Amino acid sequence: LAKTTQPISMDSYEGQEVNITCSHNNIATNDYITWYQQFPSQGPRFIIQGYKTKVTNEVASLFIPADRKSSTLSLPRVSLSDTAVYYCLVGDVGNAGNMLTFGGGTRLMVKP
């Protein structure tokens, strides 16, 4: 089970690009990397998922180096509404039980 390490908190300003890095040194071959966003008193919301290289969707990009021991969530031009906690999960798609250990998350504060 891959353990993840993220910065506890980050500050940014509106309009800036924010990059949050997650370390997962013991990631296994079958593990995928998934990022979630959580607002207070709400369930986590899926942001993006990837296995290697780069993945991009309408809200974020996910960069994964060749060794896959880390990943970086990139949020372009953040707004105040992006203030939330961001979690990265690493696990085996064929074994759901391995995708269920949440790390501490990164608390992002976007300032005006």
Question: Out of 3, 9, 46, 69, which residue is the one contacting another protein (CB under 8 A)?
Answer: 46
CB of 17 to another protein, least distance (A): 25
Contact between 93 and another protein per CB under 8 A = yes
Stretch that binds another protein, among 20-28, 36-44, 65-73, 75-83 (CB under 8 A): 36-44
Q: Which residues pair with 72 in a beta bridge?
A: 21, 63
Task: Pick from 87, 88, 90, 108 the residue near another protein by CB under 8 A.
Answer: 87
Number of residues that bind another protein (CB under 8 A): 22
Q: By CB under 8 A, is residue 98 in contact with another protein?
A: no
**3-class SS letters over 38-81:** ECCCCCCEEEEEECCEEEECCCCEEEECCCCCEEEEEECCCCHH
84: CB partners within 8 A, 6+ apart:
37, 38, 39, 107, 108
- Let me know: does 57 contact 34? Beta carbons within 8 Å: no
Q: What residues line the site for another protein (CB under 8 A)?
A: 32, 34, 36, 41-46, 49, 87, 93-94, 96-97, 99-105
